[in-house]
A and B are shown apart, each in its own frame.
Chain A
Amino acid sequence: MAWACIMPEELKVVPRGLVCLANLDTRHQSVHRSIWELLEKERSNAPLCYRLVDIDEQYPHSKAKRATYEWYVPKGILKTNWMHKHLHLIPSLVVIFFELDWNDPLFKEKQNELKDKIDMVRTNLDGRGATISVVLLQNKNSFPTVDDVYSSERDQMANTLCTYFDIPKRSLCVLPVLPQPDNLSAWIDRLEQTFIESSQNYYMNEIRRVKKHKETLNNITHQLLHIRHQFKVGFFSELKQDIPSALKAYKNAYSYLTENARIHDTNILEMKMVAGFLTYKICRISFELSQPVEAINHFRRHADIFKSKVGPVDLAFEHKAWLSKQFQIFGDLFALCPQAIQTQHPGFYYQESAYQSMARKQIAQTTCRRVEQTDFDPSEFLKPTEFYGQRPWRQHHQSMEISDAQKEREAVAALRDAESRVNHSELIISLLVLAINDFKKHSSNRMKLYLMYDLAEEYASSKDYDKALNYYNHIVQAYRAEQWWPILKSILPSALKCAYLSANLENWIRFSLEILNPNINLPVQVKTQTQTNLENLLRKSLPPQVESTIPSNDDKWKVQLVKQTINIDADTLKGLFECKVYFTHEAVSVDCEITLQVALKNGFPLPIEFNQLSVSFSLKEYDGLVCVTDPKQLTFAPNEQRILSFNFNPKNDHIQRSLEVAYVSLIYGNANQTCIDLQWRNSLHAIPTFQPTTLTPKWRTKAGHVLWENLPMRRKTNILMRAAEVQLSIEHQLPVLLYESYPIKIRIKNHENVDIHNATLTCTCSNTDDTSQTLDDTFLFYSTADSNNETTTSICSMTLETINKDTEIEQDLYVRCNSNRSREIIIRLSYERLNLHCMKEITVPLSVVNPFSIQFQTMGMMMEPLASLHAQEPFILMIDTKCTSAIPITIVSSNLKPSQFIVNECAIESQINNTQLKLDEVVTEGFCLRTQPIATPVVQNLLVGEYSLYWKRSSHPQIPELCTTFSLSDFNVEQQQIFIEVAIPNHVPLQEPFQVNYRIHNRSNIVHEYKVNLEQINLVVAVSGSTLTSLLVPPHSSSDVNYTLVATLCGFVQLPKFKISMIRPQTQEIDESIERTLPTHIFVVPSLKTDQ
């Protein structure tokens, strides 16, 4: 089909203006060679194409240009040699290189030599418009410096030379590169610019010349010329690197061709071909200009216009071939464009190209026949032509009628003969492969499958069954995975046929099983035949029976039937035969039996008998325990489902391990011959699917019949230690109080049917809080006698000799916590029974709180709060104890031990013995104390003493009490200058005189003189005698002032106010606060009844 699918190379290259380089001796002169290499080197978007020519190169002759086309009838659109001529033969510029220095001694001779060469070239160009340029290669030392570039002398010489050579001035260039060039590439770049200018000039003139013809053309006889001229303009524009004009010209030519030109059967091939060329050019330029949408739209239009223009019916295959080629070419062009997307990429065009080729193949197969004996020469009809797309047997024929019908018939026969020799499959396959690659690239995997199906069919039709099978395998798997049964239904019979023809046993079995799947909606007899074939193959070693249309392949099959096992991944069978495994228990204790149920559901259309069912486990020791070979259990009617149950014992070494079903294997066929091993692996994993549960229950279930979907799956069971048949319970009352011996009562009840001997009860503390690593703040002991034993630790263990059957024993456990964090106690009972280790364990979480808090404060003798203690003066220490836990506690006693700095005013004895405190209750006791003299005026952080509390939780009186000791420190003591001690009765009778003694202590080192006055406030308490006096007190001693008073009123009455002020030394003042230490009131009782 070369004549219709031709895509000339000249069309595909990017046209570049041709420049011929003459007189360049690249072989012997290194400088010449470097010039050539620099010009010729690979560049993207190089503007020009260079060619080395001899000076006497002959250029194609120019035809005589006709002045008018009036009587001219064109013979065709585009000559086959035209593009080649303009790309490779006719230069736009001839450059003559010549070594000539301005100051060359032989300047004249060389000048003449050059002139001869120029003339020779000019003659050979024979009227072609190409420019001639001269490049003088000069010594770089003789090249003028910047100052005298325009030296008139040289200018003059150059002008003279140009005139002498008859070339324009800008065609003369000078290249100072001898003997060795510096920075040659820069020179060459500049040189090339002048070349480009000349070359483009030439092509512009050509374009003008062609365009000039247009006025002389008419639309009736010169249609072909219109197209030809526009094409030429486009091509010259490309050579000129004027891409937009080229595109415009090509588009003009195309629209003229499709809209104005007459297309009929005799010229349709020529029209289609030229249209194809134009489309190629338009699309390629559009893609290069990054306008893929433009290209696609043009091509779509092109395809739509010409799809229906079949041309002569006898040569319909030719049309399909041409169409296929169009799509393929467009695909090739598109492939170079990076802007392809998922819905628009070359794959679609390759796909369509492949389909057109398939159509061509079909037409060819029905209409084309080899011509064996002919009375004509078929090659005569396949000769190259002068114009593209013309028929070799009637070139230049422009009429709509066919003059020689006989010749035409022969020609058709010859073309059909040629067509029948074409290997269409190869073509189609290569196109499909291209398309598949593109679809893969654009993540259209499903479309890829479609094409793979086409590919498989094509391979099968070209009898390449192995390759076809490869693809069939892939697509069958993919469609099965998506459960597109209707497609599978159509594919599978041909896949099976293919497997049969290639005698591929494994694939044949696989496809047979696929066909038997109940989801595949094939006729019953097909399915029955398939299963019968399968059974005959496995049971009787008979090759499968096939339709009579398929060539028998029995010989190859007989060789296949040897002893072998074909593994089939049964997970993929989906509905043909299903399997579910179910361990009845999630965990099994080691002394019990494991029960495994294997449920099987048959979907084969005919009854089927399997040979063996076995289950493999993750622990190899259990393999073989579950195995059935009984044919009765392994025979299934259609749609029958059956549950097989297996029991076996776990092994002692597998305690704490899990047993998993690895796979289920079902063997069909005799193990000595070919047999199938169906294996279920992944489908045994019960995957939580998101399948919507049906709202409507399935009513149509028979009683006692379990729906397959409702059968449970569990492929994993855990083997456990034997469970201890004892009841372990505890009784305790949270929270734990800090430091106490917290009692926990453990009760153990024996539920075994025998006595338990030598059971071990172990209690340990586990830190719930990992940050604190102090292990020694928890102590566990079984009796309070051990509570302060040094051996107690955070673990304790004991052996219980005998626990009688059905009895309960109790054991106390005490926990002492020395910090506040929460913790857990693990209580574990373990023993041996039937040589099996049994264990029971409970965990007790503990939270620890403070039982109480202590607060203390100091007061003066008048109960006034003291910020600091006064040396040698008495004070009262008040201690508050507050219960802070929900647990009631009992304070057994308390004890205050004064330090050496303190003396007690009175005997210290506990005032809060046996007091019970509930939450937030406070108990207070007070002690009267006096500080010892101090050495310095102020002492800080004085230790007053230690306060100990003896307490226990109220609920457990038998537990020994605990002693918690607080240190009473952080008191400040000051030395006061003066201290007044008052001796006054507690109460006095009415109207009886009583004595009040004020003893004034001077604690300073100097003599003090005071003025003392007892100020009468009212007459309720009257003072007898003088009230005002002065008093002299030596250092570190005291003086007394005595007053006699009489109370005249009963009750708590105010005393006269005692005032003291300093007389000597005058500088010192007495602190006002001293008045607060003095009593202000006295209690007056009625006078005793006298005998009167």
Chain B
Amino acid sequence: MACCVAVLIKENLIYLRRSTEELKFLFLIHASIDILDDKVNQLTKPGGDRDAKDFYLGLLYPVEEYKIYGYVSPTRVKFILIFEHSTSISLKDADIKLLFQRLHQAYIDCISNPFYEPVTQLKSKRFEQVVSSLMVQTDSMASSCR
């Protein structure tokens, strides 16, 4: 179960949903900006292996209780998913990549709204629905695997 979903532009948090009101999530998301920036720089370094389609950045850093995954859109919008360590063991990289792609698509749909002002908080029912499904669906996936 994804216990936290976040969307950032540069270092601005434009969307956050967490399963519990824990300050720790905020700190973890904030701290992962360092890693994301660094990974994106490495990815786009001139001469580097630049595959514009693949912006799934994988596991960002090791924390005991959580697994933090990152994804960057071609316009450098950062997506972060946090899973609880215990539930994420059954998750494969490919699954998580899929989740990110759904999230990314939902984001694109959301900002395509002409009334959305760039770099402000995302407020969209559709987006919320997708996020909810991410948080629930992975839950059911994990439980079905058990």
Residues on A close to B: CB < 8 A?
300, 303, 342-344, 348, 352, 355, 443-447, 449-450, 453, 479, 482-484, 486-487, 490, 691-692, 694-696
**Would A484 and B26 be within 8 Å (CB), given that A692-B118, A694-B117 are in contact?**
yes
Binds A, one of B28-36, B102-110, B122-130: B28-36
> What is the bound-complex CA distance between A564 and B38, given in angstroms?
46
Contact A483 B35 (CB under 8 A): no
Binds A, one of B60-68, B72-80, B137-145: B60-68
Contact of B35 among A342, A691, A692, A694 (CB under 8 A): A342
A483 CB contacts on chain B under 8 angstroms: 12
Q: Chain B, 60-104, contact with A by CB distance < 8 Å: what is the 0/1 string? A: 111110000000000000000000000000000000000000000
Contact A352 B27 (CB under 8 A): no
Contact B13 A450 (CB under 8 A): no
Contact A343 B27 (CB under 8 A): no
Whether a CB of chain A sits under 8 angstroms from the CB of B54 is: no
Contact of A343 among B26, B35, B117 (CB under 8 A): B35
Q: Chain B, 12-30, contact with A by CB distance < 8 Å: what is the 0/1 string? A: 1100100000010011101
> What is the bound-complex CA distance between A699 and B87, given in angstroms?
48
B62 CB contacts on chain A under 8 angstroms: 300, 343-344, 348
Contact B61 A343 (CB under 8 A): yes
Whether a CB of chain A sits under 8 angstroms from the CB of B46 is: no
A694 CB contacts on chain B under 8 angstroms: 117-118
Contact of A443 among B23, B30, B38, B63 (CB under 8 A): B38
With both beta carbons as reference points, the residue of chain A lying nearest to B23 in the complex is identified as: A490
Residues on B close to A: CB < 8 A?
11-13, 16, 23, 26-28, 30-35, 38, 60-64, 114-115, 117-119
What is the CB-to-nearest-CB distance from B29 to chain A, in angstroms, rounded to a whole number? 9
> What is the bound-complex CA distance between A490 and B24, given in angstroms?
11
> What is the bound-complex CA distance between A352 and B11, given in angstroms?
25
What is the CB-to-nearest-CB distance from A791 to chain B, in angstroms, rounded to a whole number? 67
> What is the bound-complex CA distance between A482 and B12, given in angstroms?
7
Contact A444 B11 (CB under 8 A): no
Contact B115 A450 (CB under 8 A): no
What is the CB-to-nearest-CB distance from A304 to chain B, in angstroms, rounded to a whole number? 9
Contact B34 A446 (CB under 8 A): yes
7 examples of A-B residue contacts, CB within 8 angstroms = A343-B61, A444-B31, A446-B33, A449-B27, A482-B30, A483-B12, A695-B114
Contact A484 B118 (CB under 8 A): no
Contact B31 A352 (CB under 8 A): no
A450 CB contacts on chain B under 8 angstroms: 27-28, 30-31
**Would A443 and B26 be within 8 Å (CB), given that A348-B62, A482-B11 are in contact?**
no
What is the CB-to-nearest-CB distance from A48 to chain B, in angstroms, rounded to a whole number? 40
Contact A487 B61 (CB under 8 A): no
Given contacts A348-B61, A443-B34, A449-B31, 5 further A-B contacts (CB under 8 A): A344-B62, A352-B63, A450-B27, A450-B31, A453-B27
Contact of A342 among B28, B34, B118 (CB under 8 A): B34
What is the CB-to-nearest-CB distance from B62 to chain A, in angstroms, rounded to a whole number? 6
A344 CB contacts on chain B under 8 angstroms: 61-62
**Would A444 and B13 be within 8 Å (CB), given that A355-B64, A696-B114 are in contact?**
no
Contact B30 A446 (CB under 8 A): yes
What is the CB-to-nearest-CB distance from B22 to chain A, in angstroms, rounded to a whole number? 10
Contact A487 B30 (CB under 8 A): yes
> What is the bound-complex CA distance between A50 and B63, given in angstroms?
45
Contact A486 B13 (CB under 8 A): yes
What is the CB-to-nearest-CB distance from B72 to chain A, in angstroms, rounded to a whole number? 15
What is the CB-to-nearest-CB distance from A454 to chain B, in angstroms, rounded to a whole number? 9
- Which 6 residue pairs across A and B have the least CB separation, nearest first? A447-B31, A450-B27, A444-B34, A446-B31, A343-B61, A490-B23
With both beta carbons as reference points, the residue of chain A lying nearest to B85 in the complex is identified as: A304
With both beta carbons as reference points, the residue of chain A lying nearest to B33 in the complex is identified as: A446
Contact of A445 among B34, B115, B118 (CB under 8 A): B34
> What is the bound-complex CA distance between A443 and B60, given in angstroms?
14
Contact A484 B13 (CB under 8 A): yes
> What is the bound-complex CA distance between A487 and B31, given in angstroms?
12
A343 CB contacts on chain B under 8 angstroms: 35, 60-62
> What is the bound-complex CA distance between A445 and B31, given in angstroms?
8
> What is the bound-complex CA distance between A443 and B32, given in angstroms?
12
Contact of B119 among A348, A484, A692 (CB under 8 A): A692
> What is the bound-complex CA distance between A691 and B23, given in angstroms?
29
> What is the bound-complex CA distance between A446 and B115, given in angstroms?
33
